[in-house]
Amino acid sequence: MTDDSKRPPGRHRRPLLAAAAVLLATGAAIAVPHLADAATTLQSLAAAKGKTVGFALTSSYLSEAAYKNIADTEFNLVVAENAMKWSETEPSRNSFTYTAGDAVANYAASSGKQLYGHALVWHQQYPGWVDGISSGTDLLAAMKNHIANVAGHYAGKVVAWDVVNEAFEDNGSRRQSIFQQRIGNSYIEEAFKAARAADPAAKLCINDYSTDGINAKSTAILNLVQDFKARGVPIDCVGFQAHLILGQVPSDLQANLQRFANLGVDVRITELDVRMTTPSDASKLATQKSDFQKVFTACANVTRCTGVTVWGITDRYSWVPEVFSGYGAALIWDDNYNRKPAYDGAAAGFGGTTTTPTPTTPTPTTPGPTTPGPTTPGPTTPAPGGGCAVGYTVNQWNTGFTATVNVKNTSGTAINGWTLAWSYSAGQTVTQSWSATVTQSGSAVTAANAAWNAALPAGGSTSFGFNGSHSGSNPAPAAFSLNGTACTVA
Ligand code: G3I
């Protein structure tokens, strides 16, 4: 479980904190900002890995010394929490206002951080006038005009844009947003084409929540990326929001990121927070530390993961308590800007050593896909009983299905060229595949590597997928073999 789509309107700032903000701004004591050692800032650890660590900024908070100190010190990327959304940038049709967005862009420039754009097309936080557009042709024109202007305004400043945000339902179907209903399926590719035209240098991303693990929704986005790549529609990256619940980091997060990376797109954790029931306690904070470590580790282990962005700095200002009653404490710094154990988890995930005393014994990392270590050829430890491991997930409807297969070389020896074999017991028929050549003879199916994923280093993995049909029953294969060796099935 990660997020849901309920985002009731209303204030998300807690009023009693306003007074505290004044005290902080005037230098009175509430918070003692923890000054990280230069060697152990999150941004220095990220930079050492060629990645970025970002935060969602609301510029007004920079007037608080504690907030600004952390923002300045710890991060090398910034994204506007709200200021670049449609409602903020085009409140009246074709009348653009960039004051709030420019404040974020100017902070990024003056502090030497990368700027990430969020979000051009989203079913929330768009202005009321959009609802008044009844024709698809007119809405498409309005959407293209919005993208041309906003992405044009920030061209040369942003490294990437969330072009379309939250376009899918959890079951993998298209969300019935106003854009989907009025324009139809093509609205996503029209948005990406308009963004490319407005800013040819920006990486163009699709972004969503509850897509952190391998599931129907993430598979739908995988299929979209595959389709866009096949048809030459511009798409460069996929964002995984990772609004997570304590203790529920998907165990296949890294495998999920990797299967997208295998398609030739960048991936990024874009809005990380880990909410817990409040009040927090030492045990919950220790679990949260472990959760942050798992997420940062997964990104560290995927070469094409550009980094992790956290959705805010301090629990003082977080969207979580306003939307999820009884939950909060989701970020790295607490209400009073004290560093939480989550900081050490994040740092450890990016290869740092921990320096903050923690209230509990560090939680050992769970072996599996999120175990730190290179995914490219390098020193490896053969898995016990080595061979291969296969993950097989399916998104199905009455007579059809889409399957995603993850293949991992768990032996200590590199593989160069592979064929995965299995058998279907209920007459399923493969119709179309990607990232592997799938052939079928009766119930016997084989998938042979594509040219670009032939090499599977020891410990390495890859993914491929296919569509198929069935006649009402679609059991998963009971066994797989890789180059003739039986695999474990995850
Ligand atoms: O700006 C108005 C202000 O003028 C008005 O007085 C006040 C009255 O309630 O509302 C203010 O707008 C608020 C806005 O944030 C700016 O502060 C909205 O009520 C509030 O709903 C809005 O919340 C934002 C939310 O997106 C909107 O759905 C959160 O700050 C922001 O963190 C959140 O971010 C989203 C990402 O963009 C996409 N992924 C999910 C994530 C969390 O919901």
Instruction: Reply yes or no on whether the pLDDT at 231 is more than 80.
Output: yes
Q: Where in the sequence numbering do the catalytic residues fall? A: 166, 271
Instruction: Reply yes or no on whether the pLDDT at 364 is more than 50.
Output: no
Classified as helix, coil or strand, 459 is: coil
38 CB-contact burial (10 Å; exposed 0-12 / middle 13-18 / buried 19+):
exposed
Q: Mutual orientation of helices 282-300 and 341-349 as an angle, nearest 10°?
A: 20
Ligand 1 atom at minimal distance to the Cα of residue 323: 43
Instruction: Reply yes or no on whether the pLDDT at 301 is more than 70.
Output: yes
pLDDT tens-digit profile of 439-486? 898 899 999 987 656 888 888 887 777 878 999 899 999 999 999 889
Lining ligand 1 with CB less than 6 A are 7, 9-12, 81-82, 124-125, 165, 241, 271, 319
| Closest C-alpha residue for ligand 1 atom 34 | 81
Predicted local confidence at residue 437, as pLDDT:
85
Ligand 1 atom at minimal distance to the Cα of residue 319: 32
Question: What is the average per-residue pLDDT within 278-290?
Answer: 98
pLDDT tens-digit profile of 258-268? 999 999 999 99
Question: What is the average per-residue pLDDT within 134-161?
Answer: 98
Question: What is the average per-residue pLDDT within 176-203?
Answer: 98
In the chain the domains, ranked by start, together with CATH numbers, are 3-349 (3.20.20.80), 388-489 (2.60.40.290)
Pick 281 or 40 by higher pLDDT: 281
Report the candidate in 473, 404, 476 with the shortest Cα–Cα distance to residue 433.
404
Pick 432 or 141 by higher pLDDT: 141
Confidence band for 354, pLDDT divided at 50, 70 and 90: low
| Closest C-alpha residue for ligand 1 atom 4 | 11
Please, which residues bridge with residue 440 across strands? 445
| Closest C-alpha residue for ligand 1 atom 19 | 10
Predicted local confidence at residue 454, as pLDDT:
80
Name the most confidently modeled range: 243-247, 357-361, 410-414.
Answer: 243-247
Query: What residues contact 288, with CB distance under 8 A and at least 6 apart?
Result: 246, 274, 276, 280, 329, 340, 341, 342, 345
Instruction: Reply yes or no on whether the pLDDT at 9 is more than 90.
Output: no
Confidence band for 432, pLDDT divided at 50, 70 and 90: confident
Predicted local confidence at residue 455, as pLDDT:
81
197 CB-contact burial (10 Å; exposed 0-12 / middle 13-18 / buried 19+):
middle
Predicted local confidence at residue 434, as pLDDT:
63
pLDDT above 70 covers a percentage of the chain that reads 84
Predicted local confidence at residue 465, as pLDDT:
78
